[in-house]
Amino acid sequence: MPFLLEIRVRPNSSRNKVGGSVGEPPRLVVAVQAPAVDGKANQAVVTELADAFNLRSRDFTIVYGELGRDKRLLVEGDEKTLQARLEELMGEIPKLL
């Protein structure tokens, strides 16, 4: 069953980082070095999320916000495992943000 993941992207960051939360309702923060040009940031976001959740890039599909900083993604995987990892990541305070 797909898992819905809401994120806030920070393109042009000094380094790639997945962690922390922002907003209400809280969204996971994903910082990427890639610029928000020609889909480069979206590709970097998917790559970083796949690494953070220990999944494949193809397990992530952007369903909302392809051109914005706030995005929703469908993630293929075990819902309980994904939720637990999301809570771990959202509890981290990003040092660069």
DSSP class of residue 38? Answer: T
What average pLDDT does the segment 87-93 reach? 83
Can you give the CATH number for the domain in which 45 is found?
A: 3.30.1200.10
Is there a domain that residue 96 lies in? no
Whether pLDDT at 90 is above 70: yes
Q: Can you give the pTM of this predicted structure?
A: 0.90
Q: Give how many domains the chain has, as a whole number.
A: 1
Structure tokens belonging to residue 83: 């939720």
| Domain extent for 31 | 3-91
pLDDT digits (tens, 9 = 90+) for 6-62: 999 999 999 999 999 998 889 999 999 999 999 999 999 999 999 999 999 999 999
**1/8 Cα distance (integer angstroms):** 23
For 57-80, the three-class secondary structure string (H helix, E strand, C coil) is HHHEEEEECCCCCEEEEEECCCHH
Q: Is there a domain that residue 60 lies in?
A: yes
The answer as to whether 97 is a domain residue is no
pLDDT, tens digit, 9 for 90 and up, residues 70-84: 999 999 999 999 999
